[in-house]
């Protein structure tokens, strides 16, 4: 399926070929070979939940490609605060733009928006469910680093239960035949639904509790924050908070060549001494949010093909 007019809601709707198109297009943009492709297009960026990187990189991506941004960073400044329904907001804004980017705390909200809107909807994170554009920049960064995704061994560490970035990433890495090791406290394991999907696809994965148990052949250690805002019970959060911390010693213990990624924001799960190591690529990863989001917007609006 082509990209023009298409909503991007979940990795489950995508193929490896789709992901290759996004990575190739991002590479052309990063190399300066595509410009001005959002000229004359207006993109609505609507954030019903906190964000720094995703929102600002989308807005920067739109402006750098010649497009115009409308939207809000906080639902308190939208008519939701007057009691307007989500559906009515979407029915209205669809008439103001050529594509919309939505982040919302409720799982399934981006899918609902795409059912209502007549323009493409991009899911910028729906609750603990999916975060496809984070995965696009994660894949692009790995491919930039290793020249391939096939056969990489990736360790995903942290809150694998509520972390939407790792849910999208696991589905994507499975398409490229990656090996995965899931590293988390018992109560924050990767959801059964995703593990079942991987097993059915014949993808090999292991589950361990601490990074040291992941072996010495990891290519990537993908660290995530414990998603405090998704816990119903603050005590449950306290019982797992600070249960792991990646330090320079952890990296040495993993064989020294592993690349450390993180979708950010970081709380205390990566010590600052890691930042100085060549293994730490999380800020380059965050910066790759620009060409990958430019690529996606160009493709879904038909400005690029
Ligand atoms: C992530 C998110 O919002 O899911 N942040 C991001 O978009 N880079 C990760 C997180 O909040 O922990």
Distance of CA 258 to the CA centre of its chain: 20
pLDDT at 143 over 80: yes
pLDDT at 303: 97
**φ and ψ of 207, to 5 deg:** -125, 125
Assigned CATH topology for domain 11-130+289-301: Rossmann fold (3.40.50)
Q: Do domains 11-130+289-301 and 132-286 have the same CATH topology?
A: yes
pLDDT, averaged across the chain = 97
pLDDT tens-place string over residues 188-209: 999 999 999 999 999 989 999 9
Residue 188 makes CB contacts below 8 A (sequence gap 6+) with 158, 159, 160, 161, 162, 226, 240
pLDDT tens-place string over residues 224-272: 999 999 999 999 999 999 999 999 999 999 999 999 999 999 999 999 9
pLDDT at 80 over 90: no
Ligand 1 atom showing the smallest separation from residue 227 Cα: 12
Q: Which residues pair with residue 223 across a beta bridge?
A: 157
Domains of the chain, by residue range, sit at 11-130+289-301, 132-286
151 sits in the region (left: phi over 0; alpha: psi -120 to 50; else beta) called: left
Q: Under a CB-based contact definition with an 8 Å cutoff, are residues 189 and 182 in contact?
A: yes
Residue nearest to atom 12 of ligand 1 (CA): 225
Does ligand 1 lie within 6 Å of residue 264's CB atom? yes
SS (H, E, C) 26-80: HHHHHCCCCCCCCCCCEEEEEECCCCCHHHHHHHHHHHHCCCEEEEECCHHHCHH
The proportion of the chain whose per-residue pLDDT surpasses 90, expressed as a percent, equals: 96
Report how far apart, in Å, the C-alpha atoms of 160 and of each of 47, 67, 187, 208 are: 23, 35, 9, 12
The angle subtended at Cα 6 by Cα 2 and Cα 7, nearest 5°, is: 145
9-43: burial string, b at 16+ Cβ within 10 Å, e else: bbbeebeeebbebbbebbbebbeeebeebbeebbb
Tokens of 82: 């007057």
Q: What is the pTM of this model?
A: 0.98
Q: How far apart are CA 124 and CA 265, in angstroms?
A: 15
Does ligand 1 lie within 6 Å of residue 263's CB atom? yes
Residue with tokens 């939208």: 78
pLDDT tens-place string over residues 81-125: 899 999 999 999 999 999 999 999 999 999 999 999 999 999 999
Does ligand 1 lie within 6 Å of residue 285's CB atom? no
Does ligand 1 lie within 6 Å of residue 54's CB atom? yes
Domain 132-286 listed as CATH 3.40.50.1370: yes
pLDDT at 1: 75
3-class SS of residue 242 = coil
């Amino acid at each position: 399926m082509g990209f023009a007019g298409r909503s991007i809601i979940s990795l489950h709707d995508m193929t490896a070929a789709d992901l290759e198109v996004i990575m190739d297009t991002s590479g052309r943009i990063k190399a300066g070979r595509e410009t001005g492709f959002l000229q004359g297009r207006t993109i609505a960026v609507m954030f019903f939940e906190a964000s720094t990187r995703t929102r600002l990189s989308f807005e920067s991506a739109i402006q750098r490609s010649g497009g115009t941004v409308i939207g809000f960073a906080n639902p308190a400044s939208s008519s939701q605060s007057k009691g307007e329904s989500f559906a009515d907001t979407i029915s209205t804004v669809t008439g103001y733009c050529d594509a919309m980017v939505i982040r919302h705390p409720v799982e399934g909200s981006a899918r609902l928006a795409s059912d209502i809107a007549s323009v493409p909807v991009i899911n910028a994170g729906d609750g603990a469910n999916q975060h496809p554009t984070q995965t696009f920049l994660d894949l692009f960064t790995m491919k930039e680093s290793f020249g391939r995704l096939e056969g990489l061994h990736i360790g995903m560490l942290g809150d694998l239960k509520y972390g939407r970035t790792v849910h999208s990433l696991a589905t994507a890495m499975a398409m490229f035949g990656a090996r995965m090791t899931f590293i988390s406290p018992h109560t924050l394991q990767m959801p059964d639904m995703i593990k079942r999907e991987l097993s059915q696809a014949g993808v090999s994965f292991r589950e361990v509790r601490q990074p040291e148990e992941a072996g010495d052949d990891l290519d990537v250690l993908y660290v995530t924050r414990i998603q405090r805002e998704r816990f119903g019970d603050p005590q449950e959060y306290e019982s797992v908070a600070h249960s792991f911390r990646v330090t320079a010693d952890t990296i040495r213990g993993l064989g020294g060549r592993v690349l450390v990624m993180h979708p950010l924001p970081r709380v205390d799960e990566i010590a600052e001494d890691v930042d100085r190591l060549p293994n730490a690529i999380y800020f380059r990863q965050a910066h790759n949010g620009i060409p990958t989001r430019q690529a996606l917007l160009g493709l879904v609006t038909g400005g690029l093909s």
